Structure formats: structure tokens, C-alpha cells
A and B are shown apart, each in its own frame.
Chain A
Amino acid sequence: MSFHKNHWLLFSVIFFGYIALSWIAGIGPAIWVQNHTHPLPGAEPMSPLQRHGLHVYIAEGCVACHTQQVRPLQMDAVWGRPSAPGDYAYVKPLDVWHPYAPAVLGSERTGPDLTSIGARQPSEVWQYIHLYNPRAVSPESIMPAHPWLFEVVATPAADAVVVPLPPAYAPPSGTVVATADAKALVAYLLSLKQVPLGAAGGDGK
């Protein structure tokens, strides 16, 4: 028996050895974490509207530039308290085409961390203007404008969410109103705020 001469031996060791290693580094820890992650006391489950917003957040690729994880480092204190696994307990699969919890932790901070954006920028109006064109409220921002999340109408309906844009950023005629996607995304963003640890009298464990 030799790896050099017996292809079935070689390929079996490669194949099953890798599955074993994948249990150690991937599946095993994932199962453990899943079974030991519980929502923090005082955390609210996502509403259907917020879940729709999370879907838009994923579809538009926001995670490419925004993290949602505060590291236990002094440099991250500006974004909030260090994130705990329980903070992500309500991030759940979206639908049959997305049967996994979407990745929200992110890997790059071209834009700011959004863990507490709902507390930092609680204004709906600011969020709508910012999504329509970020430079209308933050001149140095390089975030993409998302005008397709809005509609330009001649006369907005009574219950429409009208976006009060500065004239320089408004379309030449008509009024900008938010679509269902924009409303959902803003609802999701505003829901992003940290539950204080020990909110329900717990000791943080």
C-alpha cells in the first residue's frame, strides 16, 4: 500500500481527511455556536418589515463596505460596546433562496460600522436623504447613491413618504417618495442598536 501507487488510498485519505478537518474548523464550531447563541435579554425579534429591509441590505451589497461588529478594542469603542454572539441571534435565514442567516458582520470598513446606526442617526428623514444621495448630507462621503429605491411622482399620495431633498440634489421636477424597499431598509437600519448588557438585571454572562 502506497500513496504513490494506490490512487484509491490517496484520494480517500484526501477526501475523508478533509471532511474530518472541516468538522474541526467549520461544521463543529458552527453547530456549537448555533446551539449556544441566544438572544440577549431585552432584544426584540426582527419585524417582517425589518426583515425585508435586511433583504434589501443584502441585495444592494451594503456588507461590502459596512461592518456590524464591534471588537473589544479601544479603537472600536466609538461604535459601541463589544459585540456578543447573542447580538446576532435574530439574524435568521431570509427565504428558500437564502436558507442561511445572511452575513452581516462584514469584512471591510470603507464606510462606518453600522452596529449602532439606529442610535447614532435615528432620524428617518436623514436616512432617506442619505440613501437617495449620501452627498446631500455628508459632502465627503463616497457611498453610492441609491435613487432606484425612490420614485419621482408629480403629486405624492396622501400616505406617501416624501423625501425633502436639498434643491441641489432634487430632480428638476416632481417629488421624491420612498418605495417599499426604501421604507424597509430604513426600518432595518433604525433597528440597529445595541441592547445594553445586563438590561434585564443579568450580569452580562
Chain B
Amino acid sequence: MAEPSSLLSVDRPLVVGKARIESTIESDTAWTRLIYVYLACSTLWLLVGTLVGAYLSIKFTAPDVDHIHWLSFGRLRPVHTNTVFWGWTSLAMIALVLYVVPKTSQRRLYSFPLAWTSLILINLAVIIGDLCLMGGINNGGQEYREYIWPVMALFAAGVVLTAYNLIRTIAARGVEEIYISNWYIMGGFLWTSVLVTIAYLPFYQQNGISETVIQGYYMHNAVGMWFTPIVLGLIYYFLPKLLNKPIYSYSLGVLAFWTQMVFYTLIGGHHFVFSPTPWSLQTLAIIFSVGMLVTLAAGTGNFLLTMKGSSRTIARSYSLPFILAGVIGYFLWSAQGTLEALRSLNLVWHFTNYTVAHSHLTMYGFVVFLIWGCIYGLMPRMTGREPSHLLAGVHFWFALLGYLIYTIALMVGGTLQGVSWILNAPFIESVHLMEPFWLWRAVGGTMMFLSHLIFAYNLWRMRPSHREREVPAPQAEALA
């Protein structure tokens, strides 16, 4: 019998080889360039936003690391959240949308100048908004509403222009049916246009408690009616495309869409459970938070059943593992949100670091993982250039382990915080007991940041080639 070692080939690779993509370069170079520049800007914001986040995490264990006003915790915290929201995640998502909508509509994007204008507007909003926050100009709206209205108006203009651009593209589509991706994507754009307008109109926010009612509605919808529907829409395109098979059920996608719109819009009040906002509003929010399990099961089930039987393809791909992790994250971390809304559990977790863990689990473990999966799935097919397969794997594991270390530490610590308050321990004990968990959070956060550097390098590896001859863009009429 042969020795086991002799069964191993001498040049056994370190990791499982990943499949190369078939080389089909997108001939519309203007389109490739537009999407790549969107992604490059977004990735720059990812690095800035998460560097700020990593720096903030240090301040929990070393509060005197600096005494500079524009670097203080209170001013930088909204810089971190707004940069990763509006700079990184939003721009990356829009980049992918600018591919999926024309592709599924079989028509060239309605207007390139409009798309470039949106990019400039949103970048300006993040630059000016961050500088304002560091300078102490804060809207005072709390989560995701810290940019003052003139700044947020720039962002809103970018969203509205993009929405118009997409509607015109879809309206002139070359197929009869509106593909399900475009339901979700247009939902995200139309809902967010309304949402930002409502959140920034002052008439019904003239005292503390009415402002809080709007804040609950806004902060929740800013996540779930912008990022959630759009990334889900992207997955309805990229998952079948990358697996080369149809989506499991179109109807489940439609069911999840309408329940998302009706249930999710009503649940913002659960951010202020036990607060002096109307308890009827809180109860409504809790009921529909449980209702969201329907949406979650329909969406996740649909994706998982599509992936069923394709585990080999997923294992051989460097993009699909991100999508698999993101889909599982979508179910787990959104369901966690439902649990947090229940009064009995809210009692323990509200106001603690558990909430911080939850927001990172959903935004990162769900939304951002899906975005990365889509980027790795799309860019090589547009530019013909692949990322380093090994580094894509390193990116995946650093990001995954990093965010799990980060969030498990804060979930354990947050629960202990809540318990210490229930036991009526002196408040400072809840600060003291968090020390080791804040340290672990900084460790996980640093791993996440390192993975972003690797991603940025990989994005550069996938850049469009300049040697390519400019191919004249096909005329819109020819495709319509």
C-alpha cells in the first residue's frame, strides 16, 4: 500500500484553484470606464471610511490618543458612518446598477453625462459633508442624518438624477418584461428619493419628540429601502448569471418585493422601543418586524434554492463565495433585527454595543459582501482582467473573520452591558467590563481594514486596459 504522502502531488497548490473567466471583454469602453470610475471612487471612500472606523475603535481603549478637535470621537463617528454609507456602499451599488439596468433592459444607458454628474454630486456631498462634520457642523439628526440639508441635497440630486436616467433606460427597454432586478433597483431609488425628502423637510419636526418619530422612520428606511432592495436586485441578476442557470422562482422574488415595501416601511419605530414616542407606533413596528421574516424567508430561500446543486461552481469561483456569505448574512442578521425589536430582548440589548454589532452585521456581512461578490463577478468580464485569485481569497477570509471577531465581541460585551444595567450595577462597570471586547473589536476592525486594502489592490488589477482601441459605442437605436 502506498504511503499517504506519495498520493500528494509534489506541486500541490496552497489553495484550491479558482476557475478563470471566459474572456469576453465589453466592447463599450465608455460604459466600462464609467463603471470603473464609480467603483474606484467608492473604494477610495471605503478606505477612508474604514480607516476612520479603525481609528475610532482605538479611542475606546486609548481615549487620549489625540486631543485634536476635528479628530474627536463625537465628530469622527458620523464621518465613519456617513462615508461608508453614502461614499462607499452607495457609489459601489450605483456602479453595479449602471451595468445591470441597461443589460437587463437590452438598451444602452440613457445618458452618460447624467451618470457622470451624479457621480460628481455624490462625491461632493461626501467630501463637503465630512469636512462639515469634522468642523463641528452637524445637522443634529443622529444616525445617517448628520449632513446638513444643503449637503444632503447634493446627494439627493445624485440619487434623483440616477433614478431618472434608469427610468428612461427601462422605459426604452428592448424586452417586453421588466426584469425583477429592476423592480428592486427602481424601488430603492424611488423610495430613497421620497425618504430623503421627508427626512429633511422641517414642518413636522419642530419639537424633540416629533423629530424622533421621523428619525426612527428615516434611519431604518435609509438602510432597508436603499441598500437592501438594490443589492437584492443586483443578486437577482448576478446569481443566475454567475451560476449560468435561471433564478429558482420569479414569484418568490415578487412576493419578497411587495412585502419588503409594505412591512419594512412601517418598522422604523422599533428603534425607539420604550421611548416616549407613541407606543402604538412602537407596537406597529414590532408586529411588522416579525412580518419581515416572510420577506427574509422568501428572498433567502429563493437564492439558496437557486444555488442548490451548484456547490462545485461556488467553490471554484472567487466571486460566488462572497455572494453565498452575503445571502446567509442577509437571513441571519436581518432575523437578528426582528429579535432585537421584541420588547423582552430590546430591554437587554437597547443602548448597548449589541446594536453596533447588529449594524455592522447587516451593512457589512450582508450588503457589502454581496457588493464584493458582484464586483468580482462583473469587472473581469468587462475588462478582461482578473484579480489575483489568491488575494481574492485572502480578502474574503480577512473580511469574514474580521467582521465575525468584531461583532461576536460586541454581541457578548453588549449583552453583558445590558445585564449589568438590569442588575443596577454602577454605570462605570458597564464601561469597565467592555474593555476586553473593545480590544477584540479593534482587532477585528483592523482585519477588516486590511482586507479592504487587498480589495483595492484587486480592483486596480481589474482596471480597464488603456491599450484597447476605442470602439465607437453602439447607437442606442441599434439596440432598442
Contact = CB atoms under 8 A, between A and B. Distances in A.
B277 interface: yes
Given A14-B186, A18-B194, A109-B351, A75 B275 contact: no
A61 B77 contact: yes
B136 A60 contact: yes
B431 A91 contact: no
A19 interface: yes
A11 B190 contact: yes
A8 B145 CA distance: 31
B463 interface: no
Contact of A112 (B61, B268, B424, B427): B427
A89 B212 CA distance: 12
Interface stretch (A96-104, A122-130, A156-164, A189-197): A96-104
B421 A64 contact: no
B209 A5 contact: no
Contacts of B431: 110-111, 140-142
Interface in A134-150: 134-135, 138, 140-148
A142 to B, nearest CB: 5
Given A58-B140, A106-B142, A14 B261 contact: yes
Interface string B343-358: 0000100011101100
A62 interface: yes
A22 to B, nearest CB: 6
Contacts of A25: 217, 265-269, 281, 284-285
Interface of B is mostly: helix
A117 B267 CA distance: 32
A183 to B, nearest CB: 16
Given A29-B213, A108-B355, A59 B138 contact: yes
Given A7-B170, A64-B74, A103 B140 contact: yes
Contacts of B272: 105
Nearest to A133: B64
A94 interface: yes
Nearest to A143: B63
B266 A24 contact: yes
Chain B interface residue number, banded: 35 or more
Nearest to A82: B276
Interface in B191-218: 191, 194-195, 198, 202, 204-215, 217-218
A60 B187 CA distance: 35
Interface string B33-68: 000000000000000000000000001110110010
Contacts of B27: none
A148 B70 CA distance: 10
B347 A101 contact: no
B265 A18 contact: yes
B271 A142 contact: no
A69 B275 contact: yes
A37 B210 CA distance: 9
A88 B207 contact: yes
A133 B178 CA distance: 59
Given A64-B73, A78-B424, A103-B142, A97 B148 contact: yes
Contacts of A11: 167, 186, 190
A4 interface: yes
A107 B351 contact: yes
Contacts of B187: 14
B15 interface: no
A31 B63 CA distance: 41
Contacts of B389: none
B72 interface: yes
Contacts of A22: 194-195, 198, 217, 265
Interface string A1-12: 001110110110
Given A64-B77, A141-B431, A142-B60, A85 B209 contact: yes
B307 to A, nearest CB: 25
Interface in A50-86: 58-65, 67, 69, 71-75, 78, 82-85
A26 B213 contact: yes
Interface in A1-45: 3-5, 7-8, 10-11, 14-15, 17-19, 21-22, 24-27, 29-34, 37
Interface of B: 59-61, 63-64, 67, 69, 72-75, 77-78, 136-143, 145, 148-150, 167, 170-171, 173, 176-178, 183, 186-187, 190-191, 194-195, 198, 202, 204-215, 217-218, 225, 254, 261-262, 265-269, 271-272, 274-278, 281, 284-285, 347, 351-353, 355-356, 421-422, 424, 427-428, 430-432
27 contacts: A3-B254, A7-B178, A10-B183, A14-B191, A18-B225, A22-B194, A27-B214, A29-B277, A30-B205, A30-B213, A37-B207, A63-B142, A78-B424, A85-B209, A88-B209, A88-B212, A91-B207, A94-B140, A98-B148, A99-B202, A101-B205, A103-B142, A103-B215, A104-B208, A107-B142, A108-B355, A144-B74
